[in-house]
A = this chain, B = another copy of it.
Amino acid sequence: MNTHAATGTRDMAEMSYSEAIRDAMDIALENDSRVILMGEDIGVYGGAFQVTGDLVQKYGKERVMDTPISELGGAGIAVGAALTGLRPIYEFQFSDFATLAMEQIVNQAAKIRYMLGGEVSVPLVMRFPAGSGTGAAAQHSQSLEAWLAHVPGLKVVMPATPSDAKGLLLAAIEDPDPVMIFEHKLLYKIKGMVRRGFFTSPIGVAEIQRSGTDVTLVATSIMVHKSLSAAEELEKIGISCEVIDLKTIRPIDCETVFSSVKKTSRLVCVYEAVKTFGIGAEISAMVAESPAFDFLDAPILRLGGADNPIPYNSKLERASVPQVDDIVSRVADLVHGKI
């Protein structure tokens, strides 16, 4: 369900993914004095990926807070602030640095409400620029969303479009529980039409981005775009793909996936993270234990990242994650019964 489907184009503006995120933060900062931004170099520098941009000029250093380089403490301060009345949006400069803050994210943010018998909530948003493709090598290119999706108490979203980048972020800020947002760095510059002003996209709802009959491609983040491109190619050779943008990976919108699989009888999961133990495993298993299983006419295919750290060399880097060509050839093989 697209929340802005009903809106005329007059209310829409073209903006990039990062502009859409900034717009959402701007609106939230404007509307709600409890909202603060925290992160490294998000102030005058505008953020490592220029996502916060000039917000510090508009809202000041007290609401757009540069932190020292202290991810564990910074994340923990955000948790404490969320627990006591603020609505912090904490930016990790790269999602890889979440490895330093897992304690606060997983042991504290995710569990405090439950451990305290529901007496409190932790309305915290964290943003994780993720993924490869920037030539930044193994410590700056990971896709670690599966870790957080394994943790009850968190919600995890992966917007693929500028519109969802805005709508899901605004939904996350309104959400009383901690919401983790994975943003693929290569998406920051893509453009799209986005509704002006305040709106939310629902957390936990997937969207069929292209209808088809032969095979269901369930994709996340940048892989939605690659899957759509692959679907166009595949159409040329007579293969009709249904492409689902999962959007949220905790909680997963199973019904949308199940219905699609019942229709197409084939399932391919496309994601950038390391294939093993990634989102594809969960989607596959979720279908394999559901009634949709009986509708399957082919093995469930996972197209995920290679089983190696992301290398620096750009050819190797590209070869480490699924590309449009890979999707085309593997899906064709599947549909043609070669897998």
CA of A171 to CA of B287, assembled, Å = 37
The answer to whether B309 touches A299 (Cβ under 8 A) is: no
The answer to whether A110 touches B309 (Cβ under 8 A) is: yes
Task: Point out which of A115, A276, A294 has the most chain B C-beta atoms below 10 A from its C-beta.
Answer: A276
The residue on B at minimum CB distance from A97 is B103
Residues of B within 8 A of A150 (CB): 144, 146-147, 273-274, 276-278
The answer to whether B281 touches A114 (Cβ under 8 A) is: no
The answer to whether B99 touches A308 (Cβ under 8 A) is: no
Q: Is A290 an interface residue (CB 8 A)?
A: yes
Residue interface mask A83-125, B partner, CB < 8 A = 1: 0000000000000110110110111001100110000000000
In this complex, the interface size class of chain A, counting residues with CB under 8 Å from chain B, is 35 or more
Q: How far, in Å, is A43 (CB) from chain B's closest CB?
A: 24
Residue interface mask A191-219, B partner, CB < 8 A = 1: 00000000000000000000000000000
CA of A291 to CA of B267, assembled, Å = 15
The answer to whether A100 touches B72 (Cβ under 8 A) is: yes
Q: Is A301 an interface residue (CB 8 A)?
A: yes
The answer to whether B282 touches A288 (Cβ under 8 A) is: no
Residue interface mask A121-151, B partner, CB < 8 A = 1: 0000000000000000111001010110111
Q: How far, in Å, is A308 (CB) from chain B's closest CB?
A: 5
CA of A284 to CA of B277, assembled, Å = 11
Q: Is A226 an interface residue (CB 8 A)?
A: no
The residue on B at minimum CB distance from A282 is B281
Residues of B within 8 A of A62 (CB): none
The answer to whether A151 touches B274 (Cβ under 8 A) is: yes
Q: Is A300 an interface residue (CB 8 A)?
A: yes
CA of A294 to CA of B115, assembled, Å = 44
Residues of B within 8 A of A11 (CB): none
Query: A111-B309, A309-B111 are contacts. A276–B149 as well, Cβ < 8 Å?
Result: yes
Q: How far, in Å, is A117 (CB) from chain B's closest CB?
A: 9
CA of A273 to CA of B106, assembled, Å = 14
Contact of A146 among B114, B277, B311 (CB under 8 A): B277
Residues of B within 8 A of A111 (CB): 138-139, 309
Q: Is A185 an interface residue (CB 8 A)?
A: no
Segment 306-320 of A: residues with Cβ below 8 Å from B:
306-309, 311
Q: Is A13 an interface residue (CB 8 A)?
A: no
Q: Is A49 an interface residue (CB 8 A)?
A: no
CA of A209 to CA of B137, assembled, Å = 42
Q: Is A293 an interface residue (CB 8 A)?
A: yes
- Chain A interface (Cβ within 8 Å of chain B)? 72, 96-97, 99-100, 102-103, 105-107, 110-111, 114-115, 137-139, 142, 144, 146-147, 149-153, 250, 252, 273-274, 276-282, 284-291, 293-294, 299-302, 306-309, 311, 339
Apart from A99-B105, A252-B276, what 13 extra A-B contacts exist at CB < 8 Å? A96-B107, A97-B103, A107-B138, A111-B138, A114-B138, A114-B308, A114-B309, A146-B146, A147-B150, A152-B308, A280-B285, A291-B299, A293-B300
